[in-house]
Structure 1
Amino acid sequence: MTQQTQVVVIGGGQSGLAAGYHLRRLGVDFVVLDAQSTPGGAWQHTWDSLRLFSPAAYSSLPGRLMPPQPGEAYPGAQHVVDYLADYEKRYELPIQHGVRAHAVHRDGAFLRVETDNGSWRARAVISATGTWSRPFLPTVPGRSVFQGVQLHTVEYRNPQEFAGRRVVVVGGGNSGAQIAADLAYDTELTWATQREPRFLADDIDGRVLFDVATARRRALDEGSSDAGGVASLGDIVAVPPVRQARDAGLLKWSPMFARLTRHGVAWADGTTAEADAVIWCTGFRPVLSHLAPLGLRGPRGHVPTAGTRAVGEPRLHLLGYGDWTGPASATLIGVGRPARDAAREISALLASGH
């Protein structure tokens, strides 16, 4: 069965909700297809102790401030899930949960979205599938011979299952730091990073990072030199659990090891460490396989865009994958502006009749 609407939004997490909010305000007919069976996007699958980088009021989607979480300066993942579920309900967004889009095709004046529950024809599509379901694992010698447990960030939940064990956490970003801090008290921890971890000043959080990312994009658009943006400040936001473990001297880092062995890891100088588990906090890649039929992929697996609009297919917009689809667009506070811009462009496209 094929259904028809003006716009199909693929993905019902924070980016899809922000897009839906703005499309609704513009009076556009749309549907949101979400592979998740319940509201909350990827936030419902994170580790237990995850904390946002910003206070609730600075972690909000357009139109609705996130309420503070009692007793927490930086809200946890479940608080975000509850907020997103409330947001979806408050704005009566037309979301179909448990529907996975697997291909987008050109179909004359339409784009056709094939799903595991029929297909949709639309004048425009917003892809907002994020990155969580495509974890990245680096190529490291010996990964296949290591006899311990290997997990990616997406599979880690809490430190209880690792208590008293030897654990290697790989990655010097926010996920690596938060998970290393989580494990620092009850495990024999090795925290391996490509370079010395760079903590942002304790008074810097997501509010500042959003402002810096926005200012950098504005400067680049105006032809100014690149001052480095967020990357120039550091890599790790010192949320309270990270700060506490760091200040207690428990977040000692090691250079990245050269290979895994059967029972641990080994560095190029011959130093070794035994390990029962390795947790790879090594990031993600954009989930874009559903766009493969359009033939738009460019360098580094990205789809070239002008703002959020795909250069090679003006009826397609990409939202929330990173700075290449809008400054800080992969964050709660940052996705609102590019979502608004995408909705406005699509509304103009529909009005033009093209």
Structure 2
Amino acid sequence: MTQRVDVVVVGGGQAGLAAGYHLRRQGQDFVVLDAQSTPGGAWQHTWDSLRLFSPAAYSSLPGRLMHPQEGETYPDAQHVVEYLADYEKRYELPVQHGVEVRSVHRDGPGLRVMTDCGEWQARAVVSATGSWSRPFLPALPGGDRFSGAQLHTAAYRRPQDFSGQRVVVVGGGNSGAQIAADLAYEAELTWVTQRPPRYLADDIDGRVLFDVATARRRALDEGRTDVGGVASLGDIVAVPPVRGARDAGLLRAAPMFVRLTQRGVEWADGTRAEADAIIWCTGFRPALSHLAPLGLRGTRGRIATDGTRAVAEPRLHLLGYGDWTGPASATLIGVGRPAREAAREIAALLSSGA
């Protein structure tokens, strides 16, 4: 049986909920389809010690402030899960959990959304699936020879799982630094980065990063010089656990190795290090396979957009995948503005009868 609705939002994490909030304010008939069985999006699957980069009040979705977590300046992932569940309930958003969207197709004047629970006919679609389900693992020589454990950021949970082991953590971004700091007291750590770690000043957190990202986008839109945005400030936000491990001298980064061996890793000069496990903190790619039938993918796996709207398919909006779908749109505080603009554009499109 085909169900009909004006707008289908694919994904019920922070981006999908922000889209739902603004679609509701625009008076749209919509549904949010989420593959997760419970609210909370990807925050349900992070490592135990993960902390936000900003205080709660600066990590909020539109319309509802996140309350502070008792005893914590920077809330943990479980606090975010509880906030998202409360947000979904507070605004009575029509989220259907446990529904996997498999594909989106053009179908005359609308779009057909195929799921594992049936199909939907929609006049517009918002894709808000994020990237957590698509971890990126680089291909290095010897990768199939290493006899130890290899896992990605997405599978890491707690340092006690590696107590007393020799662990190589690969990655010089926030995830790499946080997981390296997590393991520094529990394991024999080797932290490996492509270039020397670049810490942001200790007083910089997500509030500043959002302002910088927004200012950069405004400058680009107005044709002014690109000053580099967040990337010009550094790669790693010095949240308290990272700052503590760094100041204790426990976060000394080695350059990137060139191959894996059966028992560890090897650098270009022949130096080797044995390892029981390698944790790849090497980022994610946008989860866009459900949009493949539309034939929109371009360079670097992205879909060309004007704001959040797909250039070649105006009935499709992409939300929360990074700066290319709105400044800081992959963050809690940053997704609200592009979600609002997407909802406005969708409302205008539907009211025009296009």
Counterpart Cα distance in 2 of 1:101 and 1:114: 6
Q: Counterpart of 1:167 in 2: which secondary structure?
A: strand
Paired residues, what number? 354
Shift of 1:292: 0.4
**Aligned twin of 1:194:** 194
**Aligned twin of 2:232:** 232
Q: Counterpart of 1:200 in 2: which secondary structure?
A: coil
Counterpart Cα distance in 1 of 2:70 and 2:245: 23
Counterpart Cα distance in 2 of 1:250 and 1:141: 28
**Aligned twin of 1:110:** 110
Counterpart Cα distance in 2 of 1:203 and 1:299: 36
Counterpart Cα distance in 1 of 2:72 and 2:138: 34
Shift of 1:139: 1.2
Question: So what's the TM-score if we normalise by structure 1?
Answer: 1.00
CA RMSD across the alignment: 0.4
**Aligned twin of 1:11:** 11
**Aligned twin of 1:299:** 299
CA deviation profile, 1:194-251 (whole Å, cap 9, x unmatched): 0000000000000000000000000001111111000000000000000000000000
Counterpart Cα distance in 1 of 2:143 and 2:64: 45
Counterpart Cα distance in 2 of 1:186 and 1:209: 31
Counterpart Cα distance in 1 of 2:103 and 2:186: 45
Where do 1:17-32 residues align within 5 Å? 17-32=17-32
Counterpart Cα distance in 1 of 2:141 and 2:46: 28
Question: So what's the TM-score if we normalise by structure 2?
Answer: 1.00
Shift of 1:150: 0.3
Shift of 1:161: 1.1
Counterpart Cα distance in 1 of 2:321 and 2:86: 23
**Aligned twin of 1:98:** 98
**Aligned twin of 1:58:** 58
Q: Counterpart of 1:93 in 2: which secondary structure?
A: coil
Counterpart Cα distance in 2 of 1:8 and 1:264: 47
**Aligned twin of 1:140:** 140
Shift of 1:186: 1.4
Matched, 1:160 2:160: yes
**Aligned twin of 2:37:** 37
Q: Counterpart of 2:150 in 1: which secondary structure?
A: strand
**Aligned twin of 2:78:** 78
CA deviation profile, 1:79-124 (whole Å, cap 9, x unmatched): 0000000000000000000000010000001100000000000100
Structure 1's unaligned 5+ residue stretches are: none
State the AA in 2 paired with 1:55: P
CA deviation profile, 1:242-263 (whole Å, cap 9, x unmatched): 0000000000100000111000
Structure 2's unaligned 5+ residue stretches are: none
**Aligned twin of 2:204:** 204
